[in-house]
Structure 1
Amino acid sequence: MTVIAVNLGSAYAGVTISGTRVVYPAEQREVSLGMVNDGKEARLIQAWIDTGDASERAETSKAPFIITPPMSRIDPGKGQTLRIMFTGAGSVPQDRETVFWLNVLEIPPKPKAGVDAPEHYMQLAVRSRMKLLYRPKGLQGSPDQALDQTHWRVVSNGKGYDAECTNDTAFNVSFSDLSFKGVPAQPSVSKGGMCPAKGKATFPVAGMPQADGKLVVTVINDFGGFNPREVNSSR
């Protein structure tokens, strides 16, 4: 028997997670995340949080969180709620959001014993990974207004164009697509990214800059919704 863990996304998973991200307000004692097994067989679930290194596992994670239960069995048609508790007061910046990652590893059952049961088989474990945003108390502004306070600059990279984002706010700006206004986004070039709180980042953009210098950024909000917004850019 061989077990392989892969990041395949929810389309290949039997367990559906209620959300695409987790926001953890510092004033809350804990937050919860629900899951439902939509498959026809029981699933074993392991959950942990990492600090941004995808190679971190539950036993090596340095993230200041506890998840209960860390492992559980979910029968077909049943659900499970994960409780997430922050344990690292003082270990993260208090003037901005900090990004962690929640991992959910789904392990299918072994083939049933019997005459036709295979002697050798491959067990495919599906790993889902989503952002967990730790949000300290008293941050100035709001996540919905953060994009309006970012600054964008378009530069040539020799083969095309990059968009440099400067974010002076306390909130991370996550987006699903980035394109020049009037130019369709090309997923292979401009698919997804995040302009970090009080930081900078650079992203490739397909096509040519338009005369008005505007970019279209499809922002992802706290609830996983998509909101296309226009922003100005300089050269």
Structure 2
Amino acid sequence: MRTPAIVGLILASLLLCFSVAADAAINLSSTRVVLAAPAKEGSLQLQNSSQEEFMLQAWVEENAAGEVPFAVTPSLERLRSGEKKTLRILYYGEGLPTDKESVFWLNVQEVPQKTKVENVLQIAVRQRLKLFYRPAGLPGRAEDAARELKWRLSGKGLEVYNPSHFHVSFGSVVVRKGSETYSAAIDMVAPGSTFAAELPGLVEDVRSGDLKVEFQVIGGFGGMAKYDSTISG
């Protein structure tokens, strides 16, 4: 038997001896955080729902411009079984646009304590959720932004334009043509921006009048709301 084959068998055998626990033990009170000015602070409730003790790490990622105008406290904390904590997100008070919403990623990572049991592979599980900073005095309302979206066909794809000052996050986007449906992979569209997605299987000569778009939007508290709209050519 060749050496690579022997090594492969050994690795496979070792992997079978390990148990992997990758489910999140720390429950979060929300799937997103909205920090609305003039408030300078937002919060997120955490609870360790497992029987084990974990070390909690939390931080905000840089945006495309390399900015992180937030501090998270506690950024490193021990969380015992069943214990609850409040994560505070503090805004420095400057550096972000005042005419539109901004978005960042908040990370919550749980690091398990060293186990006394042998042959157990431990994994640090990280949860990522969107952190929105909403300036004061923006025109319109965030909950109305989904109704203002403009949809159009672009070749064999779908474009959505967001004329509002707020981000719109999607749970699903489906284009319907009679009994046929086509899914579009659109996660979020930023204020004043256009996002384009492919529609696999859609024929090139289809007319926009034959189509409508049905979509679900994720609200500020993580709930889903259903909408539908016409599609222009």
TM-score range, shorter chain: 0.7 to 0.9
Q: TM-score, normalised by structure 1?
A: 0.80
Q: Paired residue for 1:14?
A: 25
Deviation at 1:17, TM superposition (A): 0.7
2:171 aligned partner: 176
- Which of the numbers 63, 73, 76 marks the counterpart of 2:81? 76
Mapped to 1, the partners of 2:137 and 2:169 lie a distance apart of 21
Structure 2 SS opposite 1:12: coil
Q: Which among 218, 222, 225 is matched to residue 223 of structure 2?
A: 225
The Cα offsets for residues 24-49 of structure 1, whole Å up to 9 and x where unpaired, read as: 00111311100111111011110000
Cα distance, 1:191 vs. partner? Answer: 4.5
Higher relative contact order (CA closer than 8 Å, sequence separation 6+): 1
Contact 2:62/2:68, CA 8 A, preserved across alignment:
yes
1:104 aligns with 2:115: no
Q: Deviations over 1:42-62 (max 9, x none)?
A: 111100001346xxxxxxx74
Q: What does 1:74-153 correspond to in 2, within 5 Å?
A: 74-89=79-94, 91-112=95-116, 117-118=117-118, 122-153=121-152
List runs of 5+ in structure 2 lacking aligned partners. 1-21
**RMSD of aligned Cα (Å):** 2.2
Cα displacement (A) at 1:207: 5.1
Partner of 2:184: 190
Any idea what SS the aligned residue of 2:166 has? coil
Question: Conserved in 1, the CA contact under 8 Å of 2:40 and 2:92?
Answer: no
Deviations 1:62-118 (Å, cap 9, x if unpaired)? Answer: 4100111111111111111101110141x1111100011100111111112xxxx43
Q: How many residues align?
A: 206
The answer to whether the aligner puts 1:202 opposite 2:207 as a matched pair is no
Pick the aligned partner of 1:41 from 41, 52, 74. 52
Partner of 2:62 in structure 1? 51
**Equivalent in the alignment of 1:5:** none
Q: Which has the higher helix share?
A: 2
Instruction: Say whether the 8 Å CA contact 2:170–2:188 is kept in structure 1.
Output: yes
Alpha-carbon distance change, 45 to 106 in structure 1, aligned in 2, over 3 angstroms: same
Comparing 172-181 and 133-142, the one that deviates more: 172-181
SS at structure 2 position matched to 1:179: strand
- Whether the 8 Å contact between 2:175 and 2:184 is mirrored in structure 1 is no
**Bigger radius of gyration:** 2
Q: What's 2:232 paired with?
A: 234
